[in-house]
Amino acid sequence: MRISFTLNGRPAALEAEPFERLAPLLSSNFDLKSVRTACGIGRCGACMVLVDGKAVNACLLIAGKVEGAEIFTAEGLEAVAAPLIAALEAHGAIQCGYCAPGLLVSLAASLLAGDRVRAEDVEATLTGNLCRCTGYAGIRAAIADVFG
């Protein structure tokens, strides 16, 4: 079936079975390398995308659920997340970077949620984003900068 949605602010559509997983569809149809299937079972967070403002694991989301949705991938969040990117860079929060787009999506969800978000709440939203390199120390410092 044909599934239509907006992707990074522009109208988009793809042909897929309704039960196909969104992550490989986004990466292959739109060459969005940020959507990475690194476990495929929603544990690592490397495939996260924003769907109607919520960070979700695209490896678990089925295509049929995104008809009419507003989807952002990390590629489309660079401008709005500029303060986050600057803070993460300043604190050496990124090493190999493979988890970084999923992390950015999770953090952007908090950023877009408004002023009331506290740093400890933001940290709690990141338990679904595994980072194997950094021990999260720089990420924490960046959160304190942006949300503290």
Partner 1 sequence: MSLRVAEKLSGRFRYLADDAPKGALVGLVLRSAHPHARISRLDTRAAEAVPGVHAVVTTADVPAGFRFGLRLKDQPVLADGVVRHLGEAVAAVAAETMEIAAAALAAIDVDYEILPPVTDPHVALGKEAVALHDGGNLCHAFDYLKGDVAVALEASAHTVDLSLDTPRQMHVALELEGGVAIPGEGDLVLRAPAHDPHHVRHVLSELTGLEEENIHVVGSPIGGSYGGKEDLHVQPVLALLGLKARRPVRLVLSRPEAVAAGIKRHPFSIRLRAGCNADGRLTALDFDAVADTGAYASHGPEVLETAMECAPGAYDWPSVRLAGRLAYTNNGISGAFRGFGAVQTQSALELAIDALADKAGVDRIAFRRLNLAAAEGPGPLGQTMVPMLELEPLGEALAALPAVPVGRPDERFVAGTGVALIRKGEGFGGGGPNGALGRLALGFDGRIRLETSLTEMGQGLEAAALAALRQAFGVDGRDVGLRIGETAVGNSGPTSASRGTQIAVRLVRKGAETMRQALGAAAARKLGGAAEDYISGPGGMFRADDRRNRPDIGFAALAEGEDIAVDVEIEPIETHLDGLACHTLFTACAARAFILVDRWTGRITCTGIDVLPACGMPLVPAAFDGQMAGGAAQALGFCLTEDLLATDGSFAARNLDGYFVPTIADMPPVRIHPLVELDARDPVGLRGAGEIGLNAVAPAIACAVRDVLGIPPLRLPVDPDWVLDVLEARR
Q: Output the smallest distance, CB 68 to partner 1, in A.
A: 24
Helix pair 82-90, 137-147: axis angle to 10 deg: 140
Q: Output the smallest distance, CB 69 to partner 1, in A.
A: 19
Q: Output the smallest distance, CB 108 to partner 1, in A.
A: 10
Strands 54-57 and 70-72, bridge-based pairing = unpaired
**CB nearer partner 1, residue 52 or residue 78:** 78
Torsion angle of the four alpha carbons 70, 97, 85, 45, in this order, in degrees rounded to the nearest 10: 40
Give me the numbers of helices (H) and strands (E) for the chain, helices first please: 5, 5
Q: Output the smallest distance, CB 11 to partner 1, in A.
A: 21
Q: Which residues bind partner 1 (CB under 8 A)?
A: 32-36, 38-41, 43-44, 46, 73-75, 77-78, 81, 84-85, 88-89, 91-101, 103-104, 123-124, 126-140
**CB nearer partner 1, residue 67 or residue 92:** 92
Beta strands across the sheet bearing 2-7? 10-15, 2-7, 70-72, 48-51, 54-57
**CB nearer partner 1, residue 6 or residue 136:** 136
